[in-house]
Structures are given as structure tokens and as C-alpha cells.
């Protein structure tokens, strides 16, 4: 299933793909670049117990760079969106709800 979300902040646009398994959901998040093409941003999964793991595939040999606090907030919003999505769609989700 493919879902497209808009994240408020510097007019960034993201596309999210996910695959649901019995005890977790895998996520692939793409960001639209300045040329209008989708660029891979983060990969990860959220488990039934609420734990999540994230990978930045394009930054394996370098640092992940953010210019502003807003850049960090966008990344946080994306991860939280995935966590909330998993809570809503995965049966028997047991993660905390703070």
C-alpha cells in the first residue's frame, strides 16, 4: 500500500510506502527533491511493542546534515507518523502512548 503525506515545514513533500507483517510494519519514506523526483530518505520499521528502528541508506559513508531545527522536526514528525500509523493498523499493538 502506498500513502502520500504532506509535512508542514519548508514545503517538503514526502511519499511513504509500507508493508504490514504479523508483528511489525516496514516503512520506506521518500522526499521530493528540487527537481520534482522522489528521493529515498529513510527506511525503518515499527514493531508491535512500539520499538522502532531507522536506517538512512544514503548516508552510510557520511553524516546526516540538518540546517535548522525545522529540519529535525520534519524528521521527527515522519517517524512519529509511522509510529502512529502502526498503532492504528497493527493488531495487538502494545507500544506506549505518550
pLDDT for the residue numbered 66:
80
Return the minimum-mean-pLDDT range out of 7-11, 46-50, 61-65, 89-93.
Answer: 7-11
- What's the predicted TM-score (pTM) here? 0.81
pLDDT (average), residues 77-97: 88
27 phi and psi, to 5 degrees?
Answer: -125, 140
Find the length of the chain: 98
Name the residue with cell 499493538.
Answer: 93
| Phi-psi sector, 36: left (phi>0), alpha (psi -120 to 50), beta | left
Cell reading at 34: 528540487
pLDDT (average), residues 47-70: 84
Between 26 and 63, where is the model more confident? 26
Q: Residue 63 pLDDT more than 80? A: no
pLDDT (average), residues 13-42: 87
Model confidence at 86, pLDDT cuts 50, 70, 90, reads very high
Task: Write the DSSP string, the chain.
Answer: -EEEEE-SSTT-EEEEEEEE-SSEEEEEEEEE-TTS-EEEEEEEEEETTS-EEEE-GGGTTS----SSHHHHHHHHHHHHHHHHHHHHHSTT------
Between 54 and 98, where is the model more confident? 54
Amino acid at each position: 500500500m502506498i500513502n502520500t503525506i504532506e509535512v508542514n515545514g519548508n514545503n517538503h513533500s514526502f511519499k511513504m510506502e509500507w508493508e504490514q507483517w504479523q508483528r511489525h510494519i516496514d516503512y520506506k519514506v521518500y522526499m521530493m527533491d528540487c527537481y520534482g523526483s522522489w528521493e529515498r530518505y529513510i527506511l525503518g520499521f515499527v514493531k508491535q511493542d512500539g520499538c522502532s528502528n531507522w536506517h538512512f541508506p544514503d548516508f552510510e559513508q557520511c553524516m546526516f546534515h540538518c540546517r535548522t531545527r525545522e529540519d529535525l522536526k520534519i524528521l521527527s514528525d515522519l517517524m512519529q507518523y509511522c509510529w502512529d500509523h502502526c498503532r492504528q493498523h497493527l493488531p495487538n499493538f502494545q507500544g506506549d502512548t505518550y
